Amino acid sequence: MLMQERALVLKRDVRGRVRTPVERRAAVVAEFERSGLPGTQFARLAGLKYPTLMAWVGRKRKTALVTGRAAARPMFVEAQLARAEVATKLRVVVAGGAVIELSEPAQVPLAAQLIKALA
């Protein structure tokens, strides 16, 4: 068993689905993040369906983004310009407010390394 807890009576809704308390979901997600296991393997060990685990993880990450406690993973947005001459610099704002300005395509790999190091 992954987590040592006391016996817990879980309620079911009218469709027969188990209603897991918020505290228990948070504990399972925290344990999953600490484990380093793939989601499918962790779900099997924890006695959960994989989609249920991923829904809980997604909900936690979404809440973290909304409350400003973003996850450590960098998030990227694709940007396209109508004409290349319009902008001479690409400005990237990373977590914490740091700004990277790129003026040459050759700078992209260096910026990617920097962003990865900051994550």
Average pLDDT of the residues in 77-105: 70
Whether 17 shows a pLDDT value over 80: the answer reads no
How many CB atoms lie under 10 A from the CB of residue 56?
19
Residue 118 and residue 98 in contact, taking contact as beta carbons nearer than 8 Å:
yes
pLDDT at residue 6, rounded to an integer: 58
Element (H, E) at 59: helix 50-67
Whether 10 shows a pLDDT value over 70: the answer reads no
Residue 53 and residue 32 in contact, taking contact as beta carbons nearer than 8 Å:
yes
Whether 116 shows a pLDDT value over 70: the answer reads yes
Average pLDDT of the residues in 93-114: 79
pTM: 0.47
**How many angstroms separate the CA atoms of 18 and 81, rounded?**
49
Tens digit of pLDDT for each residue in 85-94? Answer: 555 677 777 7
35-39, 81-85, 99-103: least confident range? 81-85
Tens digit of pLDDT for each residue in 32-79? Answer: 988 888 999 999 998 899 999 999 998 888 877 666 665 555 566 666
User: CA-based Rg of the chain, rounded to a whole angstrom?
Assistant: 21
In eight-state DSSP terms, residue 14 is T
Angle 22-35/50-67 helices, nearest 10 degrees? 100
Say if strands 90-93 and 11-12 run parallel, antiparallel, or are unpaired: unpaired
Residue ranges per structural domain of the chain: 11-67, 84-118
pLDDT at residue 1, rounded to an integer: 46
pLDDT at residue 56, rounded to an integer: 92
